Amino acid sequence: MNHSLYDKLQVLEPAGQAMDREERLSAAGRPLLSWYHQHRRILPWRENPEPYRVWISEIMLQQTRVEAVKPYFDRFMEALPGVEALGEVSEDRLLKLWEGLGYYSRARNLKKAAELLVEKYGGKLPSSYEELKALPGIGSYTAGAIASIAFQIPVPAVDGNVLRVISRLTGSMEDITKQSVKRDMEELIKGVMPKEDPGSYNQALIEAGAIVCVPNGAPLCGSCPLFSLCVARQKDLTGVIPVKAPKKERRTEHRTILILTKDGHVAIRKRDDTGLLASLYELPGLEGRISQEQIKETLGVKEAKITPLPEAKHIFSHVEWHMTGYRVELTEVPKGDYLWVTPEEIKKTYSLPGAFKAYTKLIR
């Protein structure tokens, strides 16, 4: 391993004289920024960090990999290039643009925030951390990212990547899932971050966590700009830090999914406006594993051609769906409040959540 480049840039820890965590993080700043400017990924929102673009990218990047976000970001920018267009877009169109990213409440909050921005700020994002944080769907991390990257305001942007990097750097054994630990980390970073180019500093921490101090698997310590300063590496604790409380076990739900077809149309319906996948379109579903005879009884039809489809599974944060599917070809109108649409309309207009992906791809 060749650490010569990074060693020249780092403040090495004096033998027998341990740094406190503020000193350690302060010493990390210069090598971290030098590494970032050499190794950062080229991303469309980084190359043009206009406030609207930074905002949209940060919301899309929540719970989604960078490479997966790129085509969604480009398509979204083309369709809705600014705040006013976002505020005016119909919900169906917005959710279709968002289809596949999941967590659809994020898209709805974008529209709510855009409407507020048009009403209160002339269609522009405010250059104030507190005002950004007050917008729908924007928490401390997103407000910090927009404020620092788009407006060069020295406020931290602490996400899971940053929590992991700082925890390992400082050797912290505190549970990073606690909000109190995150707030403490924000205060720590705020005290040492540079006043010049704070956006690059925040992105450098995030980037280090994304591509070096990685979330899954062993960290790539040999490529890390913080190699000589990292307490977790020094004490062989990278497999222990960061500390996280165990997640609650997900409950399992069994569901029967139906592709109902009649005269070249497919039945979809809107879910209730509360709960999981609220107000989104779905393929009709029934709780539990339902027999073919029960399907006909539920639909109130005497005759139907019913074809079994492959089983599928979808994992949400707190629940796991185990699904059995059937294609049901009808000649009479079934009971139920359905919207009958063509496969082409589903492709172009109506957004169906990724939970149904195994079955929507079978619609013909």
Structure tokens at 132: 């950004």
58, 99, 186, 207: the active-site residue: 58
Say how far apart CA 58 and CA 46 lie, in whole Å. Answer: 11
Query: Could you confirm whether 58 is annotated as catalytic?
Result: yes
Is residue 83 within 8 Å of residue 117, measured between CB atoms?
A: yes
> Could you list the active site residues?
58
